[in-house]
Amino acid sequence: MREPTPTEAIDLVGRFEAGQEIPDNMRADVRLLGSLLGRVLRESGSPGLFDDVERLRAATIQAYTDETSEAFERAASIADSLSIARADEVARAFTCYFHLVNLAEEHQRVRILRERDGRPDREDAADSVAAAFVRLAAEVGDDTALQRLQGLRFHPVFTAHPTEARRRAISTSIRRLADLLDEHDASLRGGADHRRAERRMLEEIDTLWRTAPLRPEKPSPTDEVRAVMAVFDETLFTAVPHVYRRVDDALQGPGVGNRAPVVRPFVRVGSWVGGDRDGNPFVTAAVTRKAAGIASEHVLLGLERAASRIGRGLTLDALTTPPSDALLALWRQLKGADEDAATDIAKRSPNEPHRRILLLIARKIAATHSRDADLAYPDPEHLLADLRVVQDSLVQGGAARQAYGHVQQLIWQVETYGFHLAELEVRQHSAVHAKVLAELDAGGELSEQAEEVLDVFRAVAHIQRRFGARAAGRYIVSFTQSAEDLANVHRLARYAVGPDGTPPVLDVVPLFETFADLQAAPGILAEIVEHPEFAARLAATDRRLEVMLGYSDSSKDVGPVAATLALYEAQALIAAWARESGIELTLFHGRGGALGRGGGPANSAILAQPPHSVDGRFKLTEQGEVIFARYGDAAIAMRHIDQVAAAILLASAPSIETRNSDAATKYADIAATMDTASRDRFFALVKAPGFAPWFATVTPMEEVGLLALGSRPARRGLSVESLEDLRAIPWVFAWTQARINLAGWFGLGTALEAIGDEERLTAAYLEWPLFRTLIDNVAMSLAKADARIARRYLDLGDRDDLAALVMDEMELTRAWVIRITGSEGLLENKPVLQRAVKLRSPYVDALSLLQLRALRALRAGAEGAISPDPEQQRLLLLSVSGVAAGLQNTG
């Protein structure tokens, strides 16, 4: 097959993109951004770069569309023929293209959300909180539904797990481009000069092209804290109260805005950034203190600005809106504490008592930030008390709309974020606790590790004294395997403060991660609640208890199918134990962004949970690229929170609980067969002699560890001799890069083949939510895989038996998923997702071919080399970053 001429290549690319069912607006955005990138490449000063990019692009599209080996070989030969310097540039170009396509897709989502917003007939209204409330009320009555709504809790916890391959500088450039796309849309609608908007976009894309795509060094934990703060500053601070408002507006009907809200703040934000020290020696007690301080600084600045803005606009005259006695008393109190400012504000706000108060409140918030003890608020409750005085006075004065408008928004922000912003959580491995306690019990001089472990408890106590008990206090124990592992935390806290000190308030949270630990969980919980410190804390919190479940390690332990079933069973047993014990349980789901680590759509997963395992409360980790994908844009963040909260509310509906329970019983035999068959198949692979070094050879696992993604080390030891040496994130990341995605599907085909009854499996797909979610997630994982490229990676090793095992299972799984879903191909029942995958796949193929070329060179030069070829290593890392952008997930 000959190589197309430049004209034929352009025609081929055009026909491929035209063949994708893309909305017209998005198609225009992709073309615009792509053409601007092409112009940047032509102006780059590298002769022939644009032509080489187009040659490879046309070749991979041709290989993708006709699927002949000849076309694929030609694409591979083009990738191999490029000089190392040109391959570097081409990899960067494709990565830039993916950033732009991702932006266009996100922009289309935002465009649709804005068009639908406020329309009662909008297509997404069915999975909103308001719609869930109506459905729940039809089953349990209005009063019970309202009670459940007001007890609702969604608790995302941001983590610094290293799964964000983009540099922050790249993310910032993309955000600026998003704003410019908005301006471009406005210029097209309003007839303004769209050339100006395009010129500025061209400038920004040129900046994106010239920005180094790889971090020069790993971020520090403090860098990671500041990166997460950007999400709060840009979206969450305002987006969350807007979600509350949207729900309240829908429920209030004609009285909206003129009476007290029925919605109570249901979002709480947690953070492991600066608190998770399990396997990360760079997270110290000093870092934890600093993380809490940075978060408080951001929220207090946000509250101060909001109070000042609202105060300046609250120009209600005392004649039209007379102040209450309580407001006048508050004025005298605030004036006495800040007399000069009060006098100045009174001159600028004549006869505007509510305005005066809010401006003085803003000054008190500023004093809290600057730690001015004479003027600062001691805690958020005192600020809320002042704001409620203002709100009540407005209501009494007849200004209910002002009381329940912006003032209510500010109250919601304080209730949601306090003075701490995110509830900082500490995590440490149970083995570390046991080792330090052995030192302490033995007496003598303590090791540096022991001193550090004890200082963490002192840091938590310091944070609680300064920012309140909500600011810190949850202590997660990784690899909890006994009740003693949990009791050890309280012993360490007492050691830390000494015999005369008071330990911090601690909610010790077990983290059950492996298959064996999940099975043992109910027995461990039954034992620990009898422990004195646990019993006392249960009594103080109305018997509230939190239990964390680890998706990553359980999947790496027994495979994705058996892990999914084990997690469901563990949740069912723990929920049943909690109900029998009179405990209000919150299950904390340690889900990653990738499917191999429990990722996938959260709302469908929530609605597939066992009865009473949600009960209006849902907590999960949000990691890496998922944080910015779900919360980086305000419109998308609001939509995501609304969807998840709706699922949390609806999960307790009798119809949902009965459906899930009945399906689990009806298909219990299928679950048992799938569990055994999938686990045996998984063990045949991962327990085969020499599997771990083979895995490190056929994937870029070692090289993934060189990417400066996060402060946390990628593995537990110096080398990978067994699966236990490897953390779950690089395990998933490496398989993803090799276009195999094994961590998301391996074993399912064998499990379904063992059942063999297609009719019954199809019925299970329709009736059993857990099974449907599993099948749909596997379909997504397989759609992002590529068998031809996978074979090339597997050829890097010398184990034909293991390679055949992987490819046979991939084909078997793919065939069964297509049959069960009643489709002719993967994702046909999810056209938007299918479109996104198809649009990207040939371009990801180009980067994969460049990565394979670099990986082969590195493997060939490894023997006898003192160090790897830096140019090949850089090409590989560039391709890793690009593939992550193209597939939109890492680990």
Active site residues: 161, 556
Q: How far apart are CA 71 and CA 66, in angstroms?
A: 8
Cβ atoms 51, 6 nearer than 8 A:
yes
The C-alpha atoms of residue 467 and residue 871 are separated, in whole angstroms, by 49
Q: Cβ neighbours of residue 511 under 8 Å, at least 6 residues apart? A: 427, 476, 477, 478, 479, 480, 548, 549, 550, 590
Q: Are 365 and 310 in contact (CB under 8 A)?
A: no
> Residues 287, 290, 291, 295: what is their CA dihedral angle, to the nearest 10 degrees?
180
Q: Which residue carries 């009719």 as its tokens? A: 759
CA distance 563 to 98: 32
3-state secondary structure of 502: coil
* Residues 891, 568: Cα–Cα separation, whole Å: 22
The H or E element spanning position 476 is strand 472-478
Q: Tell me the torsion sign for CA atoms 555, 559, 565, 569.
A: negative
The residue count for the chain: 891
Distance CA 478, CA 512 (A): 7
Q: How far apart are CA 111 and CA 125, in angstroms?
A: 16
Residue 472's DSSP bridge partners are 424
Three-state SS letters, 575-597:
HHHHHHCCCEEEEEEECCCCHHH
Q: Which of 755, 793, 631 is nearest to 235 (CA)?
A: 631
Q: Which residues contact 217 (CB under 8 A, 6 or more apart)?
A: 708
Distance CA 402, CA 314 (A): 8
Amino acid at 127: D
Instruction: Residue 558: name the closest of 740, 676, 682, 672 by CA.
Output: 682
Q: How many angstroms separate the CA atoms of 678 and 60, rounded?
A: 34
Find how far residue 342's CA is from the centre of its chain: 45
Q: 544: which strand partners?
A: 584
Beta pairing, strands 472-478 & 544-550: unpaired
What are the distances in angstroms from CA 379 to CA 307, 383, 413, 417?
16, 7, 14, 12
Q: What is the 3-state secondary structure (H, E, C) of 20-84?
A: CCCCHHHHHHHHHHHHHHHHHHHCCCCCCHHHHHHHHHHHHHHHHHHCCHHHHHHHHHHHHHCCH
Residues with Cβ within 8 Å of 322's Cβ and at least 6 positions away in sequence, in order, are: 396, 397
Q: 741, 732, 754: which is closest to 678 by C-alpha? A: 754
Place of tokens 């491929």: 16
CA geometry: angle 841, 844, 849, nearest 5 deg: 125
- Exposure pattern of 272-301 as b/e (b: 16+ CB <10 Å)? bbbbbbbbbebbbbebbbbbbbbbbebbbe
Are 592 and 891 in contact by the 8 Å Cβ rule? The answer is: yes
CA distance 737 to 432: 33
Closest CA to 246 of 645, 595, 523, 587: 645
